[in-house]
Amino acid sequence: MTERKKVTIQTLNEMKEKGEPISMLTCYDYPMALLEEKAGMDIILVGDSLGMTVYGMDSTLPVTMDMMVNHAKAVRKGAPTAFLVGDMPYMSYQVSKEEAIRNAGRLMAEAECDAVKLEGGKEMAETIEAMVKATIPVMGHIGLTPQSIAQMGGFKAQGRSAEGALKLVEDAKALEQAGASLLLVEAVPPPVLSEITKALSIPVISLGAGEDAAGQLLIVHDILGFFDRFVPKFVKKYADMNSAIYDGLKSYVDEVKSGKYPEEKYTYGMKPEEVEKFKELLKA
Ligand code: KIV
């Protein structure tokens, strides 16, 4: 297998120009990163969704910078050539531009991310401009933005009214103008995504917003059937890992209880004379 060249922002721009769809998936740990890299994932997002998928939280709000940096470091180890995006957790970029730069800088320097992602429309434009000036590539995120669930009244599709849709197009333009390199659009109707894609020159990635984008993102725990507490409408399940893992765990428990495990082949050998000598030594 030939080694893949590092995926860069130039690679992603070229893919968009050629009409070659960009694959993007979340990832939170080293073993999954190895597999995503092997599968040829173009962009890997270490999302703050890890609060819910990995830590069992009810929302992404309690996720901290330290959690994000640690998980992103592990993912980078397993996925050296994918374009790695580190998610900025709640209140790591909203308080001031200085804090946003410092926190994003941690994801870039400590975890070797290629870009950071933050949620919000026009109101984040100045912050993005400051981050880009500080050499940090940014992916914007509009539409359903999980860090605003309190304001949105839950995990709800956005841009379903004409006014709401227009605001999203304006937000998208403002983020591109501020210097964002990529834009994620989550859970909006396809006609809204199409207008955003048409209006921008940077690659737009769709998460449950239809096909008219440079690429697609889904959550790894959703597509592999790891997380079934809450499954959005746009999720396509590509594997049923919960069942496969449960079957393995249950068989292990059953075999330990019944004494079937460990059979001799799972133990280390010892020459009979060494066993005899060992017994003699014990008597002495
Ligand atoms: O944290 C995450 O995985 C995300 C996706 C929902 C886009 O931000």
- Ligand 1 centroid – CA 87 distance (Å): 8
End-to-end CA distance of the chain: 59
| Under 8 Å between Cβ of 107 and 88 | yes
pTM: 0.95
Mutation choice for ligand 1 from 60, 107, 226, CB with most ligand atoms inside 8 A: 60
Give the tokens for residue 265: 């082949």
Catalytic status, residue 186? yes
Q: Which amino acid residue places its CA nearest to atom 6 of ligand 1?
A: 49
According to the model, what pLDDT value does residue 85 have? 99
Distance CA 129, CA 114 (A): 17
According to the model, what pLDDT value does residue 2 have? 60
Catalytic-role residue among 17, 186, 195, 211: 186
- The domain in which residue 275 lies consists of 244-283
Is there a single domain that holds both residue 162 and residue 87?
yes
Q: How many domains does the chain have?
A: 2
Cα–chain center distance at 106? 17
Dihedral through CA 42, CA 3, CA 73, CA 139, nearest 10? -20
- Ligand 1 centroid – CA 48 distance (Å): 6
| Residue 95 placed within a domain | yes
Residue-wise burial string across 263-277, b where 16 or more C-beta atoms lie within 10 A, e elsewhere: eeeeeeeeeeeeeee
According to the model, what pLDDT value does residue 229 have? 78
Give the tokens for residue 51: 């609060």
Is there a single domain that holds both residue 93 and residue 159?
yes
| Residue 1 placed within a domain | no
Q: Give me the phi and psi of 134, to 5 degrees please.
A: -90, 15
Is there a single domain that holds both residue 190 and residue 278?
no
| Residue 71 placed within a domain | yes
Distance CA 108, CA 45 (A): 13
Distance CA 130, CA 117 (A): 14
Distance CA 120, CA 138 (A): 12
- Ligand 1 centroid – CA 36 distance (Å): 17
Is there a single domain that holds both residue 76 and residue 147?
yes
According to the model, what pLDDT value does residue 1 have? 54
Residues with CB under 6 Å of ligand 1 are 26, 45, 47-49, 87, 146, 184, 186, 207, 219
Is there a single domain that holds both residue 158 and residue 279?
no
Counting from 1 in the atom list of ligand 1, the atom nearest the Cα of 119 is: 8
Is there a single domain that holds both residue 254 and residue 225?
no
Give pLDDT tens digits along the chain (284 positions).
568 999 999 999 999 999 999 999 999 999 999 999 999 999 999 999 999 999 999 999 999 999 999 999 999 999 999 999 999 999 999 999 999 999 999 999 999 999 999 999 999 999 999 999 999 999 999 999 999 988 888 888 999 999 999 999 999 999 999 999 999 999 999 999 999 999 999 999 999 999 999 999 999 999 999 887 778 899 999 999 999 999 999 999 999 999 999 999 999 999 999 999 999 999 98
Is there a single domain that holds both residue 219 and residue 277?
no
